[in-house]
Protein backbone atom coordinates (compact mmCIF):
# COMPACT_ATOMS: atom_id res chain seq x y z
CA UNK A 1 0.00 0.00 0.00
CA UNK A 2 1.40 3.40 -0.95
CA UNK A 3 2.20 5.79 1.87
CA UNK A 4 0.34 9.09 1.93
CA UNK A 5 1.87 12.35 3.15
CA UNK A 6 0.34 13.74 6.29
CA UNK A 7 -1.77 16.88 5.76
CA UNK A 8 -0.20 20.17 6.85
CA UNK A 9 -0.66 20.79 10.56
CA UNK A 10 -2.75 23.85 11.48
CA UNK A 11 -0.43 26.79 12.00
CA UNK A 12 2.58 24.81 10.79
CA UNK A 13 5.20 26.19 8.42
CA UNK A 14 3.94 24.06 5.51
CA UNK A 15 0.40 25.49 5.49
CA UNK A 16 -0.77 27.86 2.77
CA UNK A 17 -1.58 31.53 3.41
CA UNK A 18 -5.11 30.91 2.13
CA UNK A 19 -5.75 28.16 4.67
CA UNK A 20 -4.41 30.30 7.51
CA UNK A 21 -6.49 33.33 6.46
CA UNK A 22 -9.67 31.27 6.15
CA UNK A 23 -9.25 29.69 9.57
CA UNK A 24 -8.29 32.91 11.38
CA UNK A 25 -11.02 35.08 9.82
CA UNK A 26 -13.72 32.43 9.49
CA UNK A 27 -14.33 33.50 5.88
CA UNK A 28 -13.69 31.78 2.59
CA UNK A 29 -10.89 32.96 0.34
CA UNK A 30 -11.31 34.20 -3.23
CA UNK A 31 -7.76 35.12 -4.20
CA UNK A 32 -4.18 35.78 -3.21
CA UNK A 33 -1.32 38.02 -4.26
CA UNK A 34 2.27 37.50 -3.19
CA UNK A 35 3.77 40.80 -2.01
CA UNK A 36 7.24 39.62 -1.00
CA UNK A 37 8.98 36.60 0.44
CA UNK A 38 6.75 35.35 3.24
CA UNK A 39 4.11 38.07 2.82
CA UNK A 40 0.82 37.46 0.97
CA UNK A 41 -2.31 39.54 0.48
CA UNK A 42 -5.35 37.24 0.70
CA UNK A 43 -8.74 38.38 -0.60
CA UNK A 44 -11.76 37.29 1.41
CA UNK A 45 -15.28 36.51 0.28
CA UNK A 46 -17.77 39.39 0.57
CA UNK A 47 -14.94 41.89 0.10
CA UNK A 48 -11.89 42.94 2.03
CA UNK A 49 -8.47 41.40 2.36
CA UNK A 50 -5.86 40.57 4.96
CA UNK A 51 -2.09 40.34 5.04
CA UNK A 52 -0.72 36.90 5.92
CA UNK A 53 2.90 36.82 6.99
CA UNK A 54 5.01 33.69 7.43
CA UNK A 55 7.89 33.77 9.91
CA UNK A 56 10.81 31.38 10.01
CA UNK A 57 10.76 31.50 13.82
CA UNK A 58 7.59 31.25 15.90
CA UNK A 59 9.01 33.65 18.47
CA UNK A 60 9.51 36.27 15.73
CA UNK A 61 5.80 36.04 14.93
CA UNK A 62 4.93 36.28 18.61
CA UNK A 63 7.19 39.32 19.04
CA UNK A 64 5.70 41.14 16.05
CA UNK A 65 2.12 40.46 17.13
CA UNK A 66 2.83 41.65 20.68
CA UNK A 67 4.55 44.74 19.31
CA UNK A 68 1.63 45.66 17.06
CA UNK A 69 -0.82 45.31 19.93
CA UNK A 70 1.38 47.37 22.26
CA UNK A 71 1.73 50.17 19.73
CA UNK A 72 -2.02 50.10 19.08
CA UNK A 73 -2.75 50.46 22.80
CA UNK A 74 -1.17 53.91 22.74
CA UNK A 75 -3.91 55.17 20.41
CA UNK A 76 -1.36 57.36 18.61
CA UNK A 77 0.08 56.15 15.29
CA UNK A 78 -2.29 53.68 13.60
CA UNK A 79 -1.12 50.10 13.06
CA UNK A 80 -2.88 47.22 11.30
CA UNK A 81 -5.11 45.24 13.65
CA UNK A 82 -3.90 41.75 14.48
CA UNK A 83 -6.52 39.24 13.33
CA UNK A 84 -4.63 36.29 14.77
CA UNK A 85 -1.29 34.54 15.19
CA UNK A 86 -0.57 30.85 14.91
CA UNK A 87 2.97 29.61 15.48
CA UNK A 88 4.64 30.60 12.19
CA UNK A 89 1.83 32.80 10.87
CA UNK A 90 0.57 36.32 11.53
CA UNK A 91 -2.66 37.69 10.03
CA UNK A 92 -3.35 41.43 10.08
CA UNK A 93 -5.69 43.88 8.41
CA UNK A 94 -4.54 45.37 5.12
CA UNK A 95 -3.80 49.09 4.97
CA UNK A 96 -5.43 50.75 1.96
CA UNK A 97 -2.58 52.62 0.25
CA UNK A 98 -2.51 56.36 -0.29
CA UNK A 99 0.10 59.03 -0.99
CA UNK A 100 2.35 60.93 1.40
CA UNK A 101 1.21 64.52 1.81
CA UNK A 102 2.45 67.46 3.84
CA UNK A 103 -0.55 67.15 6.14
CA UNK A 104 0.00 63.42 6.63
CA UNK A 105 3.69 63.99 7.42
CA UNK A 106 2.91 66.62 10.03
CA UNK A 107 0.26 64.45 11.64
CA UNK A 108 2.70 61.55 11.69
CA UNK A 109 5.17 63.72 13.58
CA UNK A 110 2.59 64.60 16.22
CA UNK A 111 1.32 61.02 16.41
CA UNK A 112 4.85 59.64 16.79
CA UNK A 113 5.51 62.06 19.66
CA UNK A 114 2.35 60.78 21.37
CA UNK A 115 3.41 57.17 20.81
CA UNK A 116 6.79 57.76 22.41
CA UNK A 117 5.22 59.63 25.32
CA UNK A 118 2.99 56.65 26.12
CA UNK A 119 6.11 55.14 27.62
CA UNK A 120 7.49 51.74 28.56
CA UNK A 121 8.24 49.90 31.79
CA UNK A 122 12.01 50.16 31.26
CA UNK A 123 14.66 50.52 28.61
CA UNK A 124 14.69 47.23 26.77
CA UNK A 125 11.33 46.12 28.15
CA UNK A 126 9.52 43.91 25.63
CA UNK A 127 5.85 44.49 24.81
CA UNK A 128 3.44 42.70 27.16
CA UNK A 129 3.27 39.08 26.06
CA UNK A 130 6.29 39.44 23.81
CA UNK A 131 9.41 37.29 24.15
CA UNK A 132 12.71 38.64 25.42
CA UNK A 133 14.44 36.81 22.58
CA UNK A 134 12.95 38.88 19.77
CA UNK A 135 14.06 40.05 16.32
CA UNK A 136 14.84 43.17 14.35
CA UNK A 137 14.33 42.18 10.75
CA UNK A 138 16.04 38.79 10.49
CA UNK A 139 18.55 39.50 13.26
CA UNK A 140 18.01 38.23 16.82
CA UNK A 141 17.46 41.02 19.34
CA UNK A 142 17.35 40.55 23.12
CA UNK A 143 14.85 42.68 25.02
CA UNK A 144 16.49 42.81 28.44
CA UNK A 145 15.28 45.60 30.76
CA UNK A 146 17.77 48.13 32.09
CA UNK A 147 17.51 51.18 34.33
CA UNK A 148 19.94 53.52 32.53
CA UNK A 149 19.86 54.04 28.77
CA UNK A 150 23.61 54.50 28.08
CA UNK A 151 24.65 51.26 29.74
CA UNK A 152 21.68 49.33 28.35
CA UNK A 153 22.27 50.63 24.80
CA UNK A 154 25.91 49.60 24.89
CA UNK A 155 25.39 46.16 26.44
CA UNK A 156 22.24 45.02 24.65
CA UNK A 157 22.20 46.90 21.35
CA UNK A 158 25.62 48.01 20.11
CA UNK A 159 28.18 45.55 21.49
CA UNK A 160 26.42 42.25 20.65
CA UNK A 161 26.31 43.16 16.95
CA UNK A 162 29.83 44.58 16.97
CA UNK A 163 31.17 41.35 18.48
CA UNK A 164 29.34 39.25 15.91
CA UNK A 165 30.65 41.42 13.06
CA UNK A 166 34.21 41.05 14.39
CA UNK A 167 33.83 37.30 14.95
CA UNK A 168 32.59 36.86 11.38
CA UNK A 169 35.41 39.00 9.95
CA UNK A 170 33.10 41.72 8.64
CA UNK A 171 34.72 44.34 10.91
CA UNK A 172 38.40 44.16 11.83
CA UNK A 173 39.48 44.28 15.50
CA UNK A 174 41.25 47.61 14.98
CA UNK A 175 38.25 49.04 13.15
CA UNK A 176 36.05 48.18 16.13
CA UNK A 177 37.89 50.57 18.45
CA UNK A 178 35.85 53.72 17.67
CA UNK A 179 32.64 51.81 18.39
CA UNK A 180 34.08 50.51 21.65
CA UNK A 181 35.13 54.06 22.55
CA UNK A 182 31.58 55.28 21.91
CA UNK A 183 30.26 52.62 24.29
CA UNK A 184 32.77 53.63 26.95
CA UNK A 185 31.80 57.29 26.66
CA UNK A 186 28.05 56.82 26.29
CA UNK A 187 27.13 58.47 29.63
CA UNK A 188 28.66 61.73 28.39
CA UNK A 189 27.54 61.39 24.77
CA UNK A 190 23.91 60.42 25.39
CA UNK A 191 22.58 63.85 26.36
CA UNK A 192 20.18 64.55 29.23
CA UNK A 193 18.45 61.52 30.78
CA UNK A 194 15.03 60.70 29.34
CA UNK A 195 12.32 58.28 30.45
CA UNK A 196 11.82 55.06 28.45
CA UNK A 197 9.80 55.71 25.30
CA UNK A 198 7.49 53.30 23.51
CA UNK A 199 9.49 52.64 20.34
CA UNK A 200 8.58 51.08 17.02
CA UNK A 201 12.19 49.94 17.05
CA UNK A 202 12.71 49.40 13.30
CA UNK A 203 11.44 52.70 11.98
CA UNK A 204 12.85 52.89 8.49
CA UNK A 205 10.88 54.18 5.51
CA UNK A 206 9.78 50.71 4.41
CA UNK A 207 7.88 50.22 7.65
CA UNK A 208 5.87 53.43 7.21
CA UNK A 209 2.78 53.02 5.02
CA UNK A 210 0.94 56.09 3.77
CA UNK A 211 -2.73 55.20 3.97
CA UNK A 212 -5.74 56.22 1.92
CA UNK A 213 -7.11 57.80 5.12
CA UNK A 214 -4.40 60.49 4.96
CA UNK A 215 -2.34 59.06 7.83
CA UNK A 216 0.95 57.25 8.19
CA UNK A 217 0.65 53.67 9.46
CA UNK A 218 3.38 51.58 11.08
CA UNK A 219 4.10 47.93 10.27
CA UNK A 220 6.76 45.31 11.13
CA UNK A 221 7.81 46.64 14.53
CA UNK A 222 10.71 45.53 16.71
CA UNK A 223 8.94 47.28 19.57
CA UNK A 224 10.57 47.81 22.97
CA UNK A 225 11.26 50.49 25.54
CA UNK A 226 14.06 52.77 24.39
CA UNK A 227 15.27 56.30 23.72
CA UNK A 228 12.92 58.27 21.48
CA UNK A 229 15.81 59.72 19.47
CA UNK A 230 16.55 56.19 18.22
CA UNK A 231 13.30 56.01 16.24
CA UNK A 232 13.91 59.47 14.81
CA UNK A 233 17.50 58.71 13.83
CA UNK A 234 16.47 55.52 12.06
CA UNK A 235 13.72 57.36 10.21
CA UNK A 236 16.45 59.66 8.87
CA UNK A 237 18.88 56.82 8.07
CA UNK A 238 17.28 55.69 4.79
CA UNK A 239 15.16 58.77 4.16
CA UNK A 240 11.40 59.27 4.40
CA UNK A 241 8.91 61.42 2.47
CA UNK A 242 8.25 64.68 4.28
CA UNK A 243 10.94 64.03 6.88
CA UNK A 244 11.52 67.71 7.68
CA UNK A 245 7.79 68.18 8.27
CA UNK A 246 7.65 65.03 10.38
CA UNK A 247 10.51 66.20 12.59
CA UNK A 248 9.20 69.76 12.77
CA UNK A 249 5.77 68.64 13.94
CA UNK A 250 7.35 66.16 16.36
CA UNK A 251 9.50 68.85 17.95
CA UNK A 252 6.54 71.19 18.30
CA UNK A 253 4.61 68.49 20.13
CA UNK A 254 7.57 67.15 22.15
CA UNK A 255 10.73 69.29 22.02
CA UNK A 256 13.99 67.38 21.79
CA UNK A 257 16.92 67.98 24.12
CA UNK A 258 19.64 70.36 22.95
CA UNK A 259 22.22 68.68 20.74
CA UNK A 260 19.89 66.05 19.33
CA UNK A 261 21.25 66.53 15.81
CA UNK A 262 24.76 65.75 17.06
CA UNK A 263 23.49 62.47 18.48
CA UNK A 264 21.97 61.14 15.26
CA UNK A 265 25.08 59.06 14.48
CA UNK A 266 25.05 57.63 17.99
CA UNK A 267 21.51 56.34 17.56
CA UNK A 268 22.12 55.14 14.00
CA UNK A 269 25.02 52.99 15.18
CA UNK A 270 22.71 50.18 16.29
CA UNK A 271 20.74 49.73 13.04
CA UNK A 272 23.91 50.11 10.97
CA UNK A 273 25.61 47.33 12.92
CA UNK A 274 22.50 45.17 12.47
CA UNK A 275 22.75 45.76 8.72
CA UNK A 276 26.47 44.97 8.85
CA UNK A 277 25.69 41.61 10.44
CA UNK A 278 22.84 40.84 8.04
CA UNK A 279 24.20 42.21 4.77
CA UNK A 280 27.96 42.39 5.13
CA UNK A 281 30.84 44.73 4.63
CA UNK A 282 28.93 47.35 2.67
CA UNK A 283 27.38 48.72 5.87
CA UNK A 284 30.48 48.44 8.05
CA UNK A 285 31.91 51.69 6.73
CA UNK A 286 28.68 53.54 7.54
CA UNK A 287 28.66 52.10 11.06
CA UNK A 288 32.25 53.18 11.68
CA UNK A 289 31.49 56.65 10.26
CA UNK A 290 28.53 56.92 12.63
CA UNK A 291 30.80 56.02 15.55
CA UNK A 292 33.35 58.64 14.57
CA UNK A 293 30.55 61.20 14.17
CA UNK A 294 29.31 60.45 17.69
CA UNK A 295 32.80 60.91 19.09
CA UNK A 296 33.16 64.29 17.42
CA UNK A 297 29.86 65.57 18.81
User: What is the C-alpha separation between 297 and 295, in angstroms, rounded?
Assistant: 6
Burial class (CB in 10 A: 0-12, 13-18, 19+), 58: middle
Active site residue 231: no
Question: Helices (DSSP H) in 172-242: which residue ranges?
Answer: 177-184, 186-189, 228-237
Compute CA 138 distance to the chain's CA centroid, rounded to the nearest angstrom.
11
Query: Who's near 15: CB < 8 A, 6+ residues apart?
Result: 8, 9, 89
Catalytic residue among 111, 143, 202, 231: 202
User: What is the C-alpha separation between 67 and 199, in angstroms, rounded?
Assistant: 9
CA nearest neighbour of 121 among 231, 229, 225 = 225
Q: Is the Cβ–Cβ distance between 93 and 69 less than 8 Å?
A: no
Q: Is the Cβ–Cβ distance between 225 and 188 less than 8 Å?
A: no
User: What is the C-alpha separation between 274 and 191, in angstroms, rounded?
Assistant: 23
The SS3 assignment for 218 reads: strand
- Please identify every residue annotated as catalytic: 202
Amino acid sequence: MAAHAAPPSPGGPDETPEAVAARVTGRSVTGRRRLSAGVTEVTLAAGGSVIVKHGEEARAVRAEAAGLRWLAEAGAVPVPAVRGEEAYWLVTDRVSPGEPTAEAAERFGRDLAALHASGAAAFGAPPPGGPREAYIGRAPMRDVPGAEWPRWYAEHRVLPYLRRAVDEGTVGPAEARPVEEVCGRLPELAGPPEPPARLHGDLWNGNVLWGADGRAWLIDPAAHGGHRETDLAMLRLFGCPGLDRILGAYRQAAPLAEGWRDRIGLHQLFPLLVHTVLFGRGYAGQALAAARSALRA
